[in-house]
Amino acid sequence: MEWTGACYADEPTVEVHTWIAAPPSRVWTLVSDVELMPRISSELESVEWLDGRSGPALGARFIGRSKHEALGEWATTSHIVEYEPSKVLAWAVEDPQHPTAVWRFTLEPQNGGTLLREWMQMGPARSGLSFAIDRMPEKEQKIVFVRMREFEANMTATLGEIKKLAEGARNPDEAAL
């Protein structure tokens, strides 16, 4: 990720992608299993579906509990805002009309496998990062850049784990499960 000098109000985004030697339907099974994500994420600790749901659907909600060495622990409610099985899954964090972040997985058949992309947008609503910026406004661009780099690294690792699982890792240790 290159230095852009972005501020939080710019609603910066990051996207990573990988090609997986498995059909979109197999990759979708993993991507849409939101409860799997804490096992392959360095920040997300747990996920709990709300309103009696047990999986994603347009409008479904879940609570995600996260932990970060510098930012502490927090919980957010996310709302599924895009849901097309085997194609796209996206959720808005907190208020779907004015989210603190938006996350999206897209799957595209490619060369006999699947091109998997993970994309996220910071903002426009204030998030936990906003408190760090409030304390050090002169460092806002650096704070945003460092956090976006963290997201990029974590997303790359997540896609790597999904790839291992979808391609059928030979033993559980290979898939970090």
CB 23 within 8 A of CB 115: no
At 37, is the secondary structure helix, strand, or coil? helix
Which helix H or strand E contains 113, and what residues bound it? Answer: strand 113-122
What is the distance between the alpha carbons of residues 90 and 74, in angstroms, rounded to a whole number? 20
Q: What is the pLDDT of residue 98?
A: 95
Q: What is the pLDDT of residue 129?
A: 85
Q: What is the pLDDT of residue 170?
A: 45
Q: What is the pLDDT of residue 69?
A: 85
Q: Domains of the chain: which residue ranges?
A: 8-167
Q: Which tokens in the block code for residue 79? A: 């709302």
Per-residue pLDDT of 74-115, as tens digits, reads 899 999 999 999 999 999 999 999 999 999 999 999 999 999
Q: Which tokens in the block code for residue 32? A: 């849409």
CB 102 within 8 A of CB 78: no
Q: Which tokens in the block code for residue 47? A: 């996920």
Which fold, 8-167? Answer: Alpha-D-Glucose-1,6-Bisphosphate; Chain A, domain 4 (3.30.530)
Q: What is the pLDDT of residue 23?
A: 96
Q: What is the pLDDT of residue 169?
A: 54
Instruction: Walk along the chain (177 residues) and give the pLDDT tens digit of each residue.
Output: 666 788 999 999 999 999 999 999 999 999 999 888 888 888 899 999 999 999 999 999 999 999 988 777 889 999 999 999 999 999 999 999 999 999 999 999 999 999 999 999 999 998 888 888 999 999 999 999 999 999 999 999 999 999 999 998 544 444 444
What is the side-by-side order of every strand in the sheet holding 13-20? 13-20, 113-122, 101-110, 88-93, 72-84, 61-68, 44-49
pTM score above 0.85: yes
Q: Which tokens in the block code for residue 78? A: 């996310």
Amino acid at 167: E
Q: What is the pLDDT of residue 172?
A: 43
